[in-house]
Amino acid sequence: MKILLIKAHPREDSFCHALADEYRRGALAAGHEVETVTLGSLDLEPYLKHGQKQKVALSEELLAVQSQIAACNLLVFAYPNWWATPPALLKLFLEIILLPGFAYKYRQRKGLAVGWDKLLRGRSARLIVTMDGPPVYYRLYLKDPGYKMMNANLRFCGVKPVRSSYFGSVKLSSARTRRRWLARAYKLGLAE
């Protein structure tokens, strides 16, 4: 299987990236092909300034990421949960990359209904999410808003299923708990 691992924490030294690295190690041990994209190293600023009104042509590095997405079977996003959803870096990346003609294509309108073709069918996704609150509170009380956002965006393009794995509270965790979580991330990669 071809896996594209997208590290979406702005800091390379984050625990989120450590989990992503362990997931990668497990997936490689299982015999999968894994490519990694680190969003913090991509130049996304030109796209932030122009929004949807003024289209900015994708850079060579972003066209390469689109090619990696097109070639993979599984998209793995590793990111922190900030203010109940993924960080702005990941949201911006999705807005830039999941373009019409690449990720979806609208059909000619018939009446009031708008239809579209899901151009990323045949791929699934896994979300590896760190948070400072307890995951049970996030799921039950807040109703999992970050997952809902990611699931809606990815399913719109045909990516399904979208599975999630939560790690928290990172802020309050002990070194022992973090080691256990790293082992869990490794096992997730191994089990794909």
pLDDT at residue 113, as a whole number: 73
Beta carbons of 189 and 23 less than 8 angstroms apart: yes
Beta carbons of 90 and 40 less than 8 angstroms apart: no
Q: By C-alpha distance, which of 13, 37, 19, 34 is closest to 96?
A: 37
Beta carbons of 129 and 167 less than 8 angstroms apart: yes
Tokens of residue 124, six digits: 């699934």
Instruction: Write out the chain's pLDDT in tens, 192 residues.
Output: 999 999 999 999 999 999 999 999 999 999 999 999 999 999 998 887 766 666 778 999 999 999 999 999 999 999 999 999 999 999 999 999 999 999 999 988 777 778 899 999 999 999 999 999 889 989 888 999 999 999 999 999 999 999 999 999 999 999 999 999 999 999 999 999
pLDDT at residue 51, as a whole number: 63
Q: Quick one: angle between helices 88-97 and 60-71, nearest 10?
A: 80
Tokens of residue 170, six digits: 């990172």
pLDDT at residue 52, as a whole number: 62
Helical spans, DSSP H, in the chain: 15-29, 45-50, 60-71, 88-97, 135-140, 145-156, 175-191
Count CA atoms within 13 Å of residue 153 on its CB side: 21
Beta carbons of 127 and 144 less than 8 angstroms apart: no
The H-or-E segment that residue 124 falls in is strand 124-131
pLDDT at residue 58, as a whole number: 92
pLDDT at residue 8, as a whole number: 98
The pTM of the full predicted model, rounded to 2 decimals, is: 0.95
Beta strand pairing call for 116-118 and 104-106: antiparallel
pLDDT at residue 49, as a whole number: 76
The C-alpha atoms of residue 152 and residue 159 are separated, in whole angstroms, by 10
The rounded radius of gyration (Å) of the Cα atoms in the chain is 17
Beta carbons of 29 and 189 less than 8 angstroms apart: yes
The answer as to CATH 3.40.50.360 being correct for domain 2-191 is yes
